[in-house]
Structure 1
Amino acid sequence: MTSWRVVRVIAGTFILLSLALGIPGSPLFVSQWWLAFTAFVGLNLLQSGLTRWCLMNNILRKLFGLREEC
C-alpha cells in the first residue's frame, strides 16, 4: 500500500469516528465538539490537496517505510 492510500484510509476513519462521536442522534454520541475534529481533518485534506504537502504522509513514510505514489 502506498503512503497516500494509507493517509486516505486514516482520514476517512477519523472523519467517520468523529461524526459518530459528535452527532447527537448517534448511539456513540459523546459531545458536539467532536465535529471540530471532523472540520480539522477536512481542512488538512483541503490543504494537502492544494499544496501537495501532507504531514501525515511524511510521518507514515518515515515511521513505516511506506512508498510514495509516482
Structure 2
Amino acid sequence: MTDILIRAVPGAIIDEIDRQARALGISRTAFLRRRLDREFRPVGGVSTADLVRLAELIRDSGTPDITDEEPELVDGSLP
C-alpha cells in the first residue's frame, strides 16, 4: 500500500473530517480510507447474481399490501 501526503489542507476541512470520523467512532485515517475507497472503487458490471437478487427483491412489488408497507430495516439497511 502506498502512503499519500496532502499539503495545505484548510483547517476547516480537517475539522470536518475529524468531526465525521468521530461521529463514526473511527480515526481520521480510517475515515479518509473509506471515503477514497467509496469514491474510487472500480466499477464492476452487473452479474447474474445481481439480477437474481433484484428479481427476488421486486417479486412482490405489484402486490398492494406489500407496496403499502414500510420496508423493514435490518442492521440499518434494507434486507
TM-score normalised over the length of structure 2: 0.26
Q: Which structure's residues are more often helix, by fraction?
A: 1
Q: Which has the higher contact order (CA 8 A, sep 6+)?
A: 1
Which one has a bigger Cα radius of gyration?
A: 2
With structure 1 as the length reference, what TM-score do the two structures score? 0.27
